[in-house]
Amino acid sequence: MTGHGIGMAETLLGLDGFRVLEVTEGEGELIVRVETVAEAAACDGCGRRAESHDRVDRVFRDLPCFGRPVRLVWWKRRWRCRRSQCPSRTWTETSEEISTRTVFTRRAGSEMCRQVGTNARPVAQLAREFGVEWWTVMNAVIERGTPLVDNPDRVGSVATLGLDETRFSEQTGTSQPSTSPGSSTWTTNA
């Protein structure tokens, strides 16, 4: 895809700070090659203007598009400080949209977690949709879901607490429902 189609692809991609270089079709997937729009960078060590030193491809999974998995190929710049005594020497660019510790974009990981947690979708099904392995989706669910589950404010205060009468009877052996008509209370023989 070239020309005006690239602008449409960038709109569909929706990743701030990135431009689409090309979109190709792979075997059962779309391959979107991107780069950042940054033309300059400053050295973290000394603050001087850095120069582009090299490029490396990093591959990530993104949200599926038109029913197909998307492989996002980020053509990352490796920057170099111009000052030879600077301890920073070289580094690669980073983005808030993509964690370098994972194989998927942040939004893809969040969507995996949402689909499993909120929509009760099977992990294996999502793995097929995203074109990844089962454990990749499960890692996204654990990484993003654990803070949600551990948050004590996610449930709110308890107004009424239910009790499983079958389980209660098994544990104590002394609990029985009241036999009075219309009664919903339990009596316990101590």
CA 173, chain centre distance (Å): 47
Burial 68-91 (b: 16+ CB within 10 A, else e): ebbbbbbebbebbbeeeebeeeeb
190: how many CB neighbours lie within 10 A of its CB? 5
* 76 CB-near residues (< 8 Å, 6+ apart): 35, 36, 55, 56, 57, 58, 92, 93
pLDDT in tens, 52-106: 888 999 999 999 998 899 999 999 999 988 888 888 888 888 888 988 788 999 9
> Measured between alpha carbons, how far is 88 from 47 in angstroms, rounded to an integer?
10
Whole-number pLDDT of residue 40? 84
| Predicted confidence band of residue 2 (pLDDT cuts 50, 70, 90) | very low
CA 39, chain centre distance (Å): 28
pLDDT in tens, 4-32: 567 778 878 888 889 999 999 999 999 99
145: how many CB neighbours lie within 10 A of its CB? 16
- The pTM (predicted TM-score) of the whole model is 0.72
* pLDDT at residue 176 greater than cutoff 80: no
Helix (H, G, I), strand (E, B) or coil at 63: strand
- Name the residue ranges covered by the structural domains of the chain: 1-95, 99-151
**Residue position matching structure tokens 């996204």:** 140
